[in-house]
Structure 1
Amino acid sequence: MKIAFVGKGGSGKTTLSSLFIRHLAAGRVPVVAIDADINQHLGPALGLPEDEAAALPALGSHLTEIKEYLRGANPRIASAEAMIKTTPPGHGSRLLRLVEDNPIYAACARPVVLDDGPGVRLMVTGPFDEADLGVACYHSKVGAVELCLNHLVDGRGEYLVVDMTAGSDSFASGMFTRFDLTFLVAEPTRKGVAVYRQYKEYAADFGVNLAVVGNKIQGEDDVAFLRAEVGDDLLVTVGHSDWVRSMEKGRPPRFELLEGPNRRALRTLHERADAAYETRDWARYTRQMAHFHQRNAESWGNARTGDDLGAQIDPAFVLDESLSAATAGVRAGV
């Protein structure tokens, strides 16, 4: 399952995504977590000391290796240099599984131990720093994430959780369509609701599965406000948490001590995410990959590479879970 957390900056999406990751790990669910937010706070939210979080290998720094691995023996892709962030897989491409070992995880993923559970794999895009000012945009850093999502065949009972960029920045590429379910974290304010409306409008034509998580709720009036503004999209609400306050101070208690109402809210998120598996449409997913790749190729990719990148689209290829077994032998030979 591929899950995204989005929302206005400061809405608490990183905190809630980290709680959801902890909840999954506590239930022994395999999890790969990705911090794709410009602020890069997911590591500390999962309990990593600041220095260890800052030392995590950036996906963007390994982009060439990632491209080289994923293109495999795909005859439509002549070289890693010919790949852009939207390049879709085709026959001969290497595909990723969440529960496996591969060179991408070896280079970019690091284990994070949570209480006594099995922990999670964490990957990060890397921070936007002074070297990027004036010469790059943050969306270039999340290109590696989009490539990995395009080549991922994930199944029931295993999770990829991505803490996304704030607000509508997710729409700078087709990555917003790469998820089975998107949790939009909204505060009970006009600004929080405005981000929801914008996201809902942009996503309407692409079948994005969206659920609103009301955060920083202080009473029934806040719940009523959100219900009036977002209607049935409001899935659950979360209020004040002493556990979260301790976590933000760098002293998280054991996760089992999280307040009962908040644990129930996380179970509701999990149930909704599991239910999304039943409506998964791999054919539409593959068509959307091709759609956004063609758009990117025509708008800038062809000019940058000097090639017709639309030719990378394999019309006979449909991404599907059944392909993972077929690629196991290819991965074993790497």
Structure 2
Amino acid sequence: MKIAISGKGGVGKTTIAAALSKLFAKDDYQVFAVDADPDANLATTLGIPAEDAVDLKPLVELEDVIKDKNADGGSLVNLNPNVEDVLDDYAYNLKNIKFVRMGDAKQGGSECYCKENSFLRSLVESLLVDKDEVVILDMGAGIEHLSRGTAQDVDCLIVVIEPSQTSIETANIVKEMAVDLEIPKVKIVANKVYDDQAKELIANNFSDEDILGYIPFNQEILASFMDLQEVGQLYDALDMEDIYNNLLDKVGGEIE
């Protein structure tokens, strides 16, 4: 199963990505947890020690590796470098989880940027097409890392929202982008749902089939992340088991 998770900063997207990664791993699935949001902290949220997380260089900044993968092209850019070994060689291993930090796509038209972006696209394609593991992509508010070709290999795009009109509007924009990219399923996880009125706001804007579940606002979770406590200790507070089971039921997909 290949899952992309999107959401604006502060909605709890990375927390949910980490929790789902841990739940799949707990059920003995092999998981690739991928930080594709340069502003996120999926590594520490998964429980990787801070001193290790700070040393995990984004794959897109591996200049020697990128140069090597483009060596056969000479002055030309290899549009499809073989990167499968990179994902295995540079992953940080937890129990049943391999973590990689992608880094951000570069802007501009120089040859160097073209090679980096080609390398990044190939990494995403390798994850979605070549890997048998469950893949969880923690993305930003948009879905820029996905192209029309790779998006079709995503089984589900999860959009994490909070109970506000702005968050709902953002989710609808992302859903439109997903439809254009032919992502087969888009689901909603509502986080920080503080009362019945907030839940009703979400329910009035999305169908029951679209919604994987609601996570109540919880001060304990907020306080724990101020101390960088591992999210794996907060399953009960997150109440993610139902969302995890709904994901399996509503999305399915082949899981190795």
TM-score range, shorter chain: 0.7 to 0.9
Q: Is the 8 A contact 1:211 1:233 kept in 2?
A: yes
Residue 204 of structure 1 corresponds to which residue in structure 2? 179
* In 1: Cα distance, 2:114 partner to 2:136 partner: 18
User: TM-score when scaled to structure 1?
Assistant: 0.62
Correspondence 1:272 to 2:250: yes
Q: Classify 1:143/1:213 alpha carbon distance in 2 versus 1 (closer, same or farther; 3 Å).
A: farther
**Which one of 165, 170, 179 corresponds to residue 144 of structure 2?**
170
Correspondence 1:252 to 2:234: no
> Deviation of residue 58 (structure 1)?
1.7
**Which one of 154, 170, 185 corresponds to residue 195 of structure 1?**
170
Residue 58 of structure 1 corresponds to which residue in structure 2? 58
Partner of 1:276, secondary structure, is coil
> Deviation of residue 195 (structure 1)?
0.9
Give structure 2 stretches of 5+ with no counterpart: none
> Deviation of residue 267 (structure 1)?
2.6
Q: Classify 1:41/1:127 alpha carbon distance in 2 versus 1 (closer, same or farther; 3 Å).
A: farther
Alignment deviations for residues 155-181 of structure 1 (CA, whole Å, 9 cap, x no partner): 4xx301110122x35278545544111
Q: Classify 1:219/1:198 alpha carbon distance in 2 versus 1 (closer, same or farther; 3 Å).
A: same
> Deviation of residue 146 (structure 1)?
2.6
Q: Classify 1:234/1:56 alpha carbon distance in 2 versus 1 (closer, same or farther; 3 Å).
A: same
Alignment deviations for residues 128-171 of structure 1 (CA, whole Å, 9 cap, x no partner): 9xxx89999x999775443123233244xx301110122x3527
* In 2: Cα distance, 1:161 partner to 1:95 partner: 18
Partner of 2:187, secondary structure, is strand
Identity of aligned residues (%): 21
Residue 195 of structure 2 corresponds to which residue in structure 1? 219
Residue 97 of structure 2 corresponds to which residue in structure 1? 120
Correspondence 1:110 to 2:92: yes
> Deviation of residue 50 (structure 1)?
2.8
Q: Classify 1:66/1:105 alpha carbon distance in 2 versus 1 (closer, same or farther; 3 Å).
A: farther
Query: Residue type matched to 2:130 in 1?
Result: V
Query: Residue type matched to 2:211 in 1?
Result: L
Correspondence 1:12 to 2:7: no
Correspondence 1:182 to 2:165: no
Q: Classify 1:277/1:79 alpha carbon distance in 2 versus 1 (closer, same or farther; 3 Å).
A: farther
Q: Is the 8 A contact 2:190 2:215 kept in 1?
A: yes
Root mean square deviation of aligned Cα: 3.7
Give structure 1 stretches of 5+ with no counterpart: 88-92, 97-101, 113-117, 279-320, 322-334
Query: Residue type matched to 1:188 in 2?
Result: P
User: TM-score when scaled to structure 2?
Assistant: 0.79
Residue 41 of structure 2 corresponds to which residue in structure 1? 41
Partner of 1:211, secondary structure, is strand
